[in-house]
Structure 1
């Protein structure tokens, strides 16, 4: 409306006036009042103007005789009231096709048919409301219905562009959201427009077949579209006039199905799963070479195959730790149930860490109190938990150092098993944050050492302990690991514990 008002007195195009007169009432009124057309041009477009626009035109004081004659010719249709449904089934006197003419004749001739003023006023008001709600059918380019955002998403839009590729007429969507958008240039960033294929087809005046188009605005039209259109030309001069076509929403086959991004833990588990398969194949072929299953192999190749097997098994152990950490983080880790005897666990840990202890020249002393209850956790989990903790701490020892660990049961409101482990001198100087945040060092290349370093191993042990209602605490010169104790053997341990 502001644009039309700014052009008041300079609109000299009869088709433009006809187009604008089919718009909303303020726009149509401003266009008719500000148009500068000749008497012949006004008379030529009056039959194609909406009834409301002809009403605006009657308010002008500078109309010529041809325009006035055309308006008088159309006045009988413009001012006719709609025939009520009850009266349409009854024959009217004077053979008049229009109810208002019959009413007028009855008043003049004194006919017995009476028309009440109140009924006429009511019908005039009803006619006015009907004309505001729907566009007139006389104009070839009718104002499209206003579509509220609550009516849902629009799936198809018919359109026409001018010779510059700008939408000048639409049907099936709000005009203000689409009219003015062009298809001559491809869209950049978040702006509306076609893809490069659509813009190239426009430059070459070629048909567009399912080209991509992006619209911006309300939720009803915003998003991706597919545009199919053909160019049209003037019949006389052959001049290019624009495109006519349809915008539609892409179907399922044309829309990329983008899944919701997986959580970090799920991505990590998927990565570990994909790495295990080739690693398992590497271990299998290396063992075939090492054991000479397919024929004799030189000692050098068997030694290389042995190293590959050990490295691959260490990688698998690290992958298992990563997978377990991911499950704990996502809340999907199941610790299972079971009981683990402390004597069996201490003997198992001594066998498993013997090679690392000899390589690092570190002495590991494991002791247990008498009596000490069994751990109320699965044996595999207990072995993994303690082996990760001990191997990580042993890596931080200097040659010749000695580590001491002790299992014991603490009675109280909740009976728990505790394990204290002394820290090497180098680790005693570090705070809890520094211990948990440490990364693998250069000396962590031993086959029995944790692949991901001290910090990751300590965090994994603490998370595993907390997952079974335990905890890992950092003291000044030692670590304290607390785990639930078994209660099934309460009677046989109660007397010894009291003594």
Structure 2
């Protein structure tokens, strides 16, 4: 009866405590309360419930055997899965000795620490999250005590300033570098620290161990205890060295760009002034040429008219010698009048005042008319003009007067510069049913390649070959012809060599009826 009461009393007492067990040194279970059985379910798979109650789990059995050898207390954190969750326990296992100091049993008790373990795990996760965010938001973080001395600096300070946190702790922020002063000379960060108020983005210039200067934006907030006592500052630091260098480079580039723009603007102004002066000069030149042409033509026409009257012997006969002189006066006057007309035409073209009237004009008729005008001079030199002809019906879209002027100028040049008994011809080719290429060729000595571009410039002649200064003319015929051809939508080109003569090609537009 006494043993039963004692057992019931024993069970009543230990059922109220945390999970516990008592086992012999060999691992046989002496006693396990309900809490232990529910949490750890002693025994192995395949054992009956009675057998399970006499056997410890393997990890607990390992602890019992270790204590049996060492006779020392063991404290461990163990975990067990209960359904979908895992529970954590802080366990204490200790030996029990008899009066003779012999080990007779080992007892273990388990305190549920699941909430604490989970809280610590969550705290570690939050701490890690905080550090990740802090690293992403700043280069390094810092903390000071109430005196302003650094008592914590994150590890990334090594990358920033080249010193480990151990060598920085205990220093003031002002000992790390120099705070950039405000415009009035005050120090925003030091003023804020003295008043225990936040400060933000104050540049701190730090020289690292390599002698390189780095600039950091320092931000901090004051920290107070629960009782409101100031305990220090916490803050962040961002390296803005690269950004400031980029801003300086951008500012320098902006200044350079502004200077370049100013220079370009000044040059544009100078160009506008120069262009305005050039326009005014051109206008003045054209006005002068037009006035001079008019003033010269009036007396020339009188000279030509009087010479013709004298040559006709209207008021009486004259001697042969005077007749020769009158002929020279008449020819010279006509030549000079033609030259003045060319100068006036060029002036009109440059001032866009020359009239151009495009009509359908047969090419054959204009070639015959041009041939008549140069026939006399050609016969004097015994030139063969039999190849100047048009065998097909070609209609041009041109100003007839100006087109005839071009043909007379180019054929006339060929007659003028082709030596005695030479030959001159004309060819016509249709290009893309749009243009007619009219080529006048001669058997003269040709034009050097280096002088071929010069012959189309006003008052320019080649210094060698057929266009030398020894020949009559001042170099306006080809200039005027090219400008007239371009006004009518065409062009003039030349091919020449000193051995084969010259080929001048006039390209003019075809009339629509040629392509209908």
Q: TM-score, normalised by structure 1?
A: 0.41
Larger relative strand fraction: 2
